[in-house]
């Protein structure tokens, strides 16, 4: 009974101080799964069953994102590879910023691909926090077309790039992506 009273008191204090419940505060800054599915449908075209399953899996793993990047990239590798991309960062507040990324990879990886990329972002405090190097590991298999996701993490910031593209590529690699405000051909 005491814990119930304490919960009621804490909820009342939270509502009293902010004018809304704590969960509503979090919802104000994050995207729900339905909104992300609609955004990906607008970005990729018709949402496929495979893409919907990938988004559902990311939501199960990470929860609700508080930002996303919609963009495109191209990459290629013969053991050592390069990846370049550009897009727009979106926040629920309506804020948008340009984002460019580039980075090297190394691994058992061969081929090339061009992709549309929809990156879900988690635990981002400021929008400019995304402008940094973020390491990642990726397994890829494109044979004409495919969809995939991997996770990249730097501190608490987590990015989940969802890629759908065309090409002929397969393998596993490690590397990083350097997210920046401006385009650069240097992958460092």
145: pLDDT confidence band, cut at 50, 70 and 90? Answer: low
Please state the pTM of the whole predicted model.
0.81
- Give the residue from 90, 81, 185, 87 showing the smallest Cα distance to 136: 81
- β-pair type (96-122, 157-180): antiparallel
Angle between helices 49-62 and 33-44 (to 10 degrees): 140
Q: What is the pLDDT of residues 10-62, one digit of tens each?
A: 333 333 333 433 343 456 789 999 999 999 988 887 657 778 888 999 999 99
Cα distance between residue 118 and residue 88, in whole Å: 10
Q: Which of 13-17, 155-159, 184-188 has the highest mean pLDDT?
A: 155-159
Q: Give me the torsion for CA of 133, 138, 144, 147, rounded to 10°.
A: -90
**36 bridge partner residues:** none
Q: Sketch out the chain's domains with CATH numbers.
A: 31-180 (2.40.128.480)
The string of DSSP codes covering 82-144 is EEEEEEEEE-TTS-EEEEEEEEEEEEEEEEEEEEEEEEEEES-SSGGGG-SEEEEEEEEEEEE
165: pLDDT confidence band, cut at 50, 70 and 90? Answer: confident
141: pLDDT confidence band, cut at 50, 70 and 90? Answer: low
In this structure, what are the phi and psi dihedrals at residue 151, rounded to the nearest 5 degrees?
-115, 140
Q: What is the pLDDT of residues 89-133, one digit of tens each?
A: 999 999 999 999 999 999 988 888 899 999 999 999 999 999 999
- Any idea what the Cα angle at residue 29 is, between residues 134 and 48, rounded to 5°? 70
Cα distance between residue 117 and residue 109, in whole Å: 19
Q: Which of 107-121, 132-146, 160-174 has the highest mean pLDDT?
A: 107-121
């Amino acid at each position: 009974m005491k814990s119930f009273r304490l919960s009621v008191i804490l909820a009342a204090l939270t509502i009293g101080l902010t004018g809304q419940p704590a969960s509503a505060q979090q919802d104000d800054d994050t995207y729900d799964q339905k909104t992300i599915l609609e955004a990906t449908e607008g970005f990729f075209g018709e949402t496929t069953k495979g893409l919907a399953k990938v988004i559902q899996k990311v939501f199960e793993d990470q929860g609700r994102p508080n930002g996303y990047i919609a963009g495109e990239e191209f990459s290629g590798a013969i053991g050592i590879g390069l990846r370049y991309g550009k897009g727009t960062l979106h926040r629920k507040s309506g804020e948008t910023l340009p984002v460019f990324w580039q980075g090297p990879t190394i691994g058992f990886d061969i081929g090339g691909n061009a992709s549309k990329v929809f990156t879900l972002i988690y635990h981002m405090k400021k929008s400019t926090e995304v402008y940094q190097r973020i390491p990642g590991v990726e397994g890829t298999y494109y044979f004409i077309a495919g969809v995939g996701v991997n996770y990249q993490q730097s501190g608490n910031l987590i990015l989940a790039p969802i890629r759908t593209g065309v090409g002929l590529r397969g393998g596993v690699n490690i590397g990083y992506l350097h997210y920046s405000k401006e385009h650069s051909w240097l992958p460092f």
